[in-house]
Structure 1
């Protein structure tokens, strides 16, 4: 038996319907903010990803050489391809550009709960709005999308300027060590490392930065910084919108990628891998031959959204089983079409079963059964049976459709 590749999944119909319904809710939330959906290729030139992240990322990607000898890679994330598309196709568009996408991505890493080698990412990019208002919109949009999907989560919002101000005089090699310790929340290791370097004052500032909950507390530690007004404006917009969030200026992941505002979200039911969204302000377009334009955006782990939502609910569609004898086959096809045109799922017997066997099967799969025998065909009627209540009646096709619509019992 051939098995599916490690880190991939098969989705049965109930789960696919749940996923599609969740996608619809997320897309609709983005649409209301003016974000229009785009799609980029599943594979890109390998350079698109290494130009930003370095050659080391190759070990984390699915890469291959095509028949022309070109180095290609399956898409590991969405943003780089979107900005490449912007530079290629849309840099003359009026700004800001508001785009969203739902893409399948591929990374070669160890599979675990909520983390797969083939996964889906719902993302949005706001290109050309390098302002506090743009930062706030990206956060508010993300919050709307996750709530529309039904996710319960904690939102952390920060900015990298305070961290950069505190570390501005630290050599790069030491800065990387500090960042790694902060990212792992290893405060004991941070204290030991900074004590060994005799940087007790830096230790106090960094620990204080991790504990602040307001801009007043923040700037009491950092003193005035050029980005202060923008940070205060962004926080003010979020507070004015009654957004549930906490200020977290200890977010350090992506320090080499993001340029200002950063935010993360952590959801229920995900265990240790509980981050469900990450985003912030960045500048990428110039790496791909475009102008240096400020952007901000985010990526939502769609698979983690589904894990967070929990058990797959039972399908909500009303299923109508059309039962018939061979002599009434044409009439049964006509009835099925009429129920489908009315918006219902109509399923017919395809295995030449007798009426008793058809009824037994319908009891497992359908809410209603419609019997189309020779008598019903001659009269232009049907026998409508409520499979749950066990009641039935003979009526016209129009009455049967109305009865299913009104959930007749």
Structure 2
């Protein structure tokens, strides 16, 4: 027996219903904010990711050479491919540009609960504006999208890399390895890297923006004022860091406490990636949502993955197979979700099958009723049955 590869998953019909439901909700929310969907290849040149993240990313990437000797990789994330597409095709387009995307990514990590080698990201990129209102709108989209899909308990934390770097400059600790340790929250290792460690710890515990005397705090205050207009709750968190230097300015993370220690479900902020990929410098920002982790968080909060969709089952009595198939085809063309009896079961077995599938309305094509231009419709939930004329069936199904 051949098994699925380690770190990957199969999704059964019930799981796919849940995933498609949340996916549709997210798409609707992003499009309400003016974002348009894009899609990039699953494979990209490996150089795209080493330029963005350094050679170290090769160890956790599914990288390979094709038959022509080109070094390729399964995408480990989606920001770099989307920005590569922007540099190739969209630099001269009117700004701002708002792209959103949804796709699978691959990383050669050690699989554990909630972390897989194939995983899905939902995210967006905002290109061409870094005004306070633009960044506030981006953050509000991230927060509201998670709330609107059904999460009740989420926490938004906002930091500022420019302010953090300015502070580290003042105590002689602004080095790439220090930022990486802060990003990993390895405070024990930081003690040996930062001379005034206690002062650093006091700084990252700051919760009042008015206490910060850096010029960058003024812009951050304007962003917070816009978030207040949007009614978005947030916390200042100056401990948020990024290990790569092209990240700049505002950074933010959203946590779902229901997930426990591995609680982050969204991360984003401003970055300066376009020049690295060969384009002209331009303001860029965005965020990515860990789609799989959102589903786990929803399940842990007891979210009910239910859609108010109506499904019907068409079966028949006697030699009415062709008539039943014609009726099922007609209803499907009118937009109804219809399953038809294709196993030639008797009527009681058909009813039993429909009930197990969760279909509550069964349309029965019977000889006597068909001659009168009618069918029988049985409500399995109420154990009631009535005769409905064929020319009135569509209105009946809509209103039932």
TM-score for the superposition, normalised by structure 2: 0.92
Deviation at 1:318, TM superposition (A): 2.5
* Residue 189 of structure 1, CA deviation: 5.7
CA contact 2:176–2:245 (8 Å) conserved in 1? no
**Is the deviation greater in 88-97 or in 325-334?**
325-334
Hey, what does 1:87 align to over in structure 2? 87
Match of 1:270 among 259, 262, 273: 259
Residue 357 of structure 1, CA deviation: 2.1
Partner of 1:160: 161
| 1:315 Cα deviation after fit | 5.7
**Alpha-carbon distance, 1:253 to partner:** 3.1
User: CA offset at residue 404 of structure 1?
Assistant: 3.4
Structure 1 residues 270 and 355: CA distance shift in structure 2, 3 A: same
2:211 corresponds to 1:213? no
Shift of residue 99 of structure 1? 0.7
Cα distance in structure 2, aligned partners of 1:368 and 1:376 = 17
Report 1:118-197 matches (<5 A).
118-151=118-151, 152-168=153-169, 175-176=175-176, 178-187=178-187, 190=190, 192-193=191-192
CA contact (8 A) 1:14 1:314 kept: no
- On the 8 A contact 1:122/1:302 being kept in 2, the answer is yes
Cα separation, 2, equivalents of 1:25 and 1:362: 28
3-state SS in 2 of match to 1:168: helix
- Contact in 2 for aligned 1:121/1:302 (Cα 8 Å): yes
Aligned to 1:61: 61
CA distance in structure 2 between the aligned counterparts of 1:49 and 1:351, rounded to whole angstroms:
51
Give a deviation string over 1:262-306, Cα, whole Å, max 9, x none: 000001432221100000100111111110112110111111111
Q: Is the 8 A contact 2:120 2:290 kept in 1?
A: yes
Shift, 1:94, TM fit: 1.0
Contact 2:312 2:338 in 1 (8 A): yes
Matches within 5 A, 1:247-262: 247-254=236-243, 256-262=245-251
Q: Deviations over 1:77-129 (max 9, x none)?
A: 11111111011000000111111111111111012222111111111111111
Q: CA deviation at 1:2?
A: 1.1
Q: How does 1:20-35 map to 2 (within 5 A)?
A: 20-35=20-35
Residues 387-396 or 397-406, more deviating: 397-406
Q: CA deviation at 1:54?
A: 1.2
Q: 1:74 to 1:170 in 2, by over 3 A?
A: farther
CA distance in 2, matches of 1:340, 1:252: 53
Aligned to 1:362: 354
In 2: Cα distance, 1:285 partner to 1:57 partner:
19
Residue 258 of structure 2 aligns to a residue whose secondary structure is coil
Q: How many residues matched?
A: 395
Q: 1:268 and 1:332 mapped to 2: Cα distance?
A: 51
The alignment partner of 1:134 has SS state of: helix
- CA distance in structure 2 between the partners assigned to 1:361 and 1:23 by the alignment: 29
Measure the CA separation in 2 of the matches of 1:51 and 1:189. Answer: 27
Residues 301-340 of structure 1: pairs in structure 2 closer than 5 A:
301-310=290-299, 313=305, 316-325=308-317, 327-340=319-332
> Mean alpha-carbon deviation: is it higher for 288-297 or for 263-272?
263-272
Structure-2 separation of matches of 1:100 and 1:186: 33
Provide the secondary structure at the position in 2 that maps to 1:392: strand
What displacement does 1:29 show? 1.1
Where does residue 231 of structure 2 map in the other structure?
Answer: 242
Structure 1 distance, partners of 2:307, 2:142, is: 27
Q: Deviations over 1:325-376 (max 9, x none)?
A: 4521121012212332444321111112222322222232220111112212
Deviations 1:157-206 (A, max 9, x none): 1111221112116667x84554455344455664x536xx7x3xx32431
Name 1:297's counterpart in structure 2: 286
2:215 aligned partner:
226
Partners of 2:35 and 2:100 within 8 A in 1: yes
Instruction: After TM superposition, list the pairs within 5 Å mapping 1:351-390 onto structure 2.
Output: 351-365=343-357, 366-390=359-383
Provide the C-alpha distance between the structure 1 equivalents of 2:52 and 2:386, rounded to a whole number of angstroms: 68
* Structure 1 position 324, deviation (Å): 1.1
Is this contact kept in 2: 1:17–1:315, CA < 8 A? no
Which whole-Å CA distance do the structure 2 matches of 1:359 and 1:26 have between them? 36
Residues 137-171 of structure 1: per-residue CA shift (max 9 Å, x gap): 21112112212212231000111122111211666
